[in-house]
Structure 1
Amino acid sequence: MTEPKIFAHADEGTWMPTPDGNRRRVLLHTDELMLVEFGFDKGGVGALHSHPHVQSSYVAEGRFEVTIDGRTEILEAGGSFIVPSGLVHGVKALEAGRLVDGFTPHRADFLASNQTDSA
């Protein structure tokens, strides 16, 4: 079995387009945990959705309108939020920005799309 990558540098990782017109890059992952950076242009939307993974998110840059289970708040750089498993959630970028998301367990769908898109 291959040892997991345990360090990532700022210039590593390939940005991939997301179905909703934004971009993401997987930074690091193990079977239990994944770290992913998402980039949004002003007005970009992460459509409402849900998944079985627990998600934690850190606003690295910008301002976002964040909706989780029908509750909406505005978060700016330095803010964060957690999405429990199965809750409907989404974001809107009020200005260009970046989110850094942790998922547990890892998002196998993100790894599969990275392999498909880079092949």
Structure 2
Amino acid sequence: MTGTKIFSHAGEGAWTPTPDGNRRRVLLHTDELMMVEFGFDKGGVGALHSHPHVQASYVAEGRFEVTIDGRTEILETGSSFIVPSNLVHGVKALEAGRLVDSFTPHRADFLA
């Protein structure tokens, strides 16, 4: 595991703007798994999209309207959701908040 970062401390890592106007920072990753924190202002939208990665998300802060494969639910701090491979999904921040997403395999596009 030489060279693999296995610990991440609060506040580490730079925020990167996302194409839809939010922000993200990669916390940890291996080839098999990646953990990413996303920050949203109130009203921020994670546009509907899909990817081959399986995604598990935890609402670390705030309230979000989450849509997965045409089904929408309101999730708040402490809630979570999973997105199977290739399903269309997106979120809207009903208040400022943060999501912590895990992806398998890792999102190479987030490391470019």
TM-score of the superposed pair, with normalisation by structure 1? 0.92
Counterpart of 1:21 in structure 2 is 21
The structure carrying a bigger helix percent of its residues is 1
Following superposition, which runs of at least 4 residues in structure 1 exceed 2 angstroms of deviation?
none
Q: After alignment, is 101-110 or 2-11 more displaced?
A: 2-11
* Equivalent residue runs for 1:14-53 within 5 Å: 14-53=14-53
1:1-119 → structure 2 map (5 Å cutoff):
2-112=2-112
Q: Tell me how far apart the structure 1 counterparts of residues 91 and 21 of structure 2 sit (CA, whole Å).
A: 13
Aligned length: 112
Distance 1:59 1:45 in 2: 15
Aligned-partner Cα distance in 2 for 1:97–1:12: 18
Letter in 2 for 1:71: R
Question: What SS class does the counterpart of residue 87 from structure 1 fall into?
Answer: coil
RMSD: 0.9
The alignment's TM-score, normalised by the length of structure 2, stands at 0.98
Q: CA–CA distance in 1 between the matches of 2:10 and 2:3?
A: 21
Listed as ranges, the gaps of 5+ residues in structure 2 are none
The CA deviation at 1:73 is 0.1
Identity %: 89
2-side partners of 1:80 and 1:21: how far apart?
A: 22
The structural deviation recorded for 1:2 is: 4.5
